[in-house]
Chain A
Amino acid sequence: MTDRLSILVPIRVLEGESIPEGVPELLAHAHVVLLGYHVIPEQTAAGQARMQFEDRATERLDEYEEMFEDAGATVERRLVFTHNGQKTIDRMIAEHDCMAVLVPNATGPVEDVLVPVRGAIGVDRLARVVASVFGNMDADVTLYHVADEDTTDDDIQTLLGGMADRLAEFGMDPSTIETRIDRDQNPLDAIVDVADAFDTVVMGETDPSLATFVFGMPADQVANRFLGPVFVVQRERAAADEDE
């Protein structure tokens, strides 16, 4: 199956993080890049940690790999000892051409998916992830936009309508797609509030800016506050799309 999209699932494998309930089923139609990583302090050489922990980490990853495969996913796995977890995750995204990173939290069977859409940029990738992960599931997708004062209803309809068309193009049943619009709220708070009624969230990564530098990526903030799993769709990287 070549149309499976690569989704990165980073797990801090030696710190008691495991694959939460429902996550393997959630990714049944994806190509899972299972990253077990262990962050070590500067004082320790990475090889030193490997000598001691490799066996235990490998054992756990074996177990997790089986869980994903049993659910129907194809799996590729990596085990990395690192001083800098973020650098490792970024490298994996680039090397495996991952469309999205899953922040793994427990969930039941997925029935309702919330897809916050910020703007026209990155809509294509967002749609591809939603369609490929949830297209064959019996799930309802809600496209959600938090508009500011200057945006007219027409603009929003164009945006969300375009997104819905895209999903249909990728083979989703249009009857499962709904839209929802809120106005004059802090987008972040609004997304977290609305998400409560959903099983999972799929949202785009934001371009880095001063605000994201100070407050962190909105997607990460949502992931921290929302209790279910969050797919963070990666923005297009310069070199990442060559061999699609």
Chain B
Amino acid sequence: MTWNLKNGPLLGAALMLVVLLAAPHMFYPVFLMKVLCFALFACAFNLLLGYVGLLSFGHAAFFGSAGYITAHMVKALNFDPLAGILVGVMVSSLLGLVIGWLAIRRSGIYFAMITLGFAQVIFFLSLQLKFTGGEDGIQGVPRGMLFGLVDLTDTMSMYYFVLAIFLCGFWLIYRTINSPFGQVLKAIRENEPRARSLGYDTDRFKLMAFVISAALSGLAGGTKALVFQLASLTDVNWHMSGEVVLMTLLGGMGTIFGPAIGALLVVTLNNYLAGFGSWVTIIIGAIFVSCVLAFRRGIVGEILEKVRTWPTRHKT
């Protein structure tokens, strides 16, 4: 069989599916669910950074606000878990529409600073609004019965529910990237003035990508709130925005699987270092610095680059 790079994503997807179906029998399911939520978050973020070239430093706003809304819907208004998540997604999409509409007026580092600023607004609101519970957050969120049939308090059912959500989100991102729409996004990333001169309304494309990314971040955040039965300030904090940047950078921005792998590594790291106080922050900072200085393509990006240049290096 000839090894073709084009088969890579398909092969990778098949491998990922097998691993994810079998994983809860070998690893701690709650940990895996956490990884899946963050992997979806990072992939959604990567849609913006890796494929449109927009660095948002405020994605925690979407992740965290959807978490709060989902938790509130399910706990206070007795919504079905999936319906709760969908309301969370709607709110994060609306936020994405407003913040994105304002932020795309500037590009580059201004875009990063603006998104960071608006995310801080969401943080303040989460701290001050009544329903969010201030410093305590919303605790003891019931996982409930999915469609009144599946009991999600059972860890395994919950795992497969989360897996299904992850796969839907991942598939949507994959389809977006590999559609004509995705091609235009890449064109904007490579050369925005040229894309504009070809007749594309680049602002509209950027805004659409921003909203999709915000919606999927919300999907991840809402799901995470159900998994941990908690929505808290941690998820809207700017540290969270930084962490998702790191996951994407570490795994490989602009690659399909990179962010998921980056999420796996960062979540593992967070779990192992949870008892060591501020060392997590220090090590995460150090990984940032070494990524930027030494391997900017990220893990998956570097591997792909090796594979791509391998034949030429060995022919000559």
Do they bind each other?
no
Residues of chain B having any CB pair with chain A under 8 Å: none
